[in-house]
Amino acid sequence: MKNLAIILAGGSGSRLKNEFPKQFLKLAGKSIIEHTIEKFENHPDIHAIHIVTNPLYYDKTIELIEKNSYKKVKKVLKGGKTRQESSYIGISAASDNFENVLIHDAVRPFLSSEIIDNIIKKLEKYDAIDVAIPSPDTIIRIDENNIIKDIPARKYLRRGQTPQAFKLKLIKKAHQLALKESFFNATDDCSLILKFQLSDIFVVNGSDYNIKITYPIDIHIADKIFQIKNKNIDKVDKQSLKKYFKNKVFVIFGGSSGIGKSIFDILKEIGAKPYSLSFSDGVDIRDYHICEKSLKEINKKEGKINGVIITAARLKFGFIETIDVDDLKEQIETNLLGNMYAAKASIPYLKKSEGSILFFASSSYTRGRAGYSPYSSSKAGIINFAQALADELINYNIKVNVINPERAATPMRFNAFGKEDALTLLSPEFIAVQTLNIITRNITGSVFDIKVIDEKIGKNNV
């Protein structure tokens, strides 16, 4: 059985009030539609992909396909005025070589391979498949005067998702009947099967992550989903990293102590060529020209730079009302401006190596802490800067990510907060190993939380 995926990308983005359709908005360094295409491109049981796109953005869609060299995308079609029309365009272009068709919204980028697996398995028994999840809310039915007329039992209600899947001959027949009877109001394909009573429709369990990006708030939710999903990465030991890092050149700004020193030591141990650039070594990250000169010298010596890791930071207690202006300035310039300088100076070398830039944030970036507002606000700025930089550098294949470690046993933390129970703190070495693990992944524009998940036994997670 051959399985065709049709991705409906004909939306205009009007509900997002954006300048261009929502499927082209960037998330984690790629457009939403690229994430969606990759779900089908990488699934072994999907044999071809048709994309039905907004006619005004046909050329932009073609550019994305060519840039990524997708092997399974066989057709890019201009969509119609309605979802029903666009779906029919995609289905009509499918040859009889395909037995099954999966129809998916381009703006659902979190589709899992498990859902695709379950759909394909159920198509062996059923001719029509929907994907849905239980509703956590009570659903009410009202009349034209906003008066409640019915409150259906919640246990029988589901929230529909996509893909919806069908035997190709069945869904073609449904659309042809709709045209014959001048029925043009279908908001999805299953409703056509139901209207003409052509088949039972089996419901496969969806996922809370499989959201449709429709409104402005959905973009923020999607960003958080990427953060949650990408941080669940299997832990590794440093020996398993040898193959990736052997003979690669990495520069660590702030590599003389704490997490930076642990990264430096482990890179050296596993056969990489690390360089530490720190204030104590005469490299002030707040001076762009010094950053630029230092990287130029390393590149001249080694002939390459494969990655830049920026752990340099300043943390001092002080309320804005009373803090010394020089202390405030030093923290902002080190934690934010200095990070920007180091990143900017590294780009020419990372373009050649298609390397990585890695920043460090803090758990305080989500909510400013009294007494540490310069530090907290600069770390929030790092998140925003890294996400924007990932978008800017995606075409150079430079990966830009952020590590967000929970409480860590570093000199900077001890100076600020005093000694704490070791079981409640992450060790710099553990953070360093997992940081290097993340560098090996083909991910960009993401924030990775590294944290203690069981304080009693000191168990760590990423």
Structure tokens at 109: 């980028």
CB 299 within 8 A of CB 347: no
* CB contact set of 73 (below 8 Å; sequence gap of 6+): 37, 41, 48, 49, 50, 51, 65
Reported residue count of the chain is 462
**Alpha-carbon gap, residue 440 to 270, rounded angstroms:** 14
Predicted local distance difference test score (pLDDT) of residue 289 = 97
Give yes or no for residue 19 having a pLDDT over 80.
Answer: no
Closest CA to 54 of 89, 29, 79: 79
Q: Which CATH class is domain 3-215?
A: alpha beta
Which of the four pLDDT bands, split at 50, 70 and 90, describes residue 316? confident
Q: In whole angstroms, what is the distance from residue 70 CA to residue 255 CA?
A: 40
Q: What is the pLDDT of residues 254-265, one digit of tens each?
A: 988 888 999 999
Please give the angle made by the CA atoms of 338, 344 and 347, to the nearest 5 degrees.
140
Residues 6+ apart with CB under 8 A from 153: none
Question: Residues 371-386, buried b or exposed e (16+ Cβ, 10 A)?
Answer: ebbbbbbbbbbbbebb
CA 23 distance to own-chain centroid: 14
The model carries a pTM of: 0.66
pLDDT at 412 over 60: no
Give the model's pLDDT for residue 446: 83
Nearest-angstrom CA–CA distance, 156 and 158:
7
Kindly report the CA angle at 443 between 440 and 449, in degrees rounded to 5?
85
Using CA atoms of 333, 334, 338, 340 in order, give the dihedral in degrees to the nearest 10.
-80
Over residues 346-356, the mean pLDDT reads 97
281: helix, strand or coil: helix
Q: Do domains 3-215 and 232-461 have the same CATH topology?
A: no
Percent helix, percent strand, percent coil in the chain, to nearest 5: 45, 20, 35
286: amino acid identity, one letter:
R
CATH number of 232-461: 3.40.50.720
- Do 434 and 259 meet the contact criterion of CB atoms below 8 Å apart? no
Domain boundaries, the chain: 3-215, 232-461
Q: Average per-residue pLDDT in the chain? A: 88
Residue 29 has pLDDT above 60, yes or no: yes
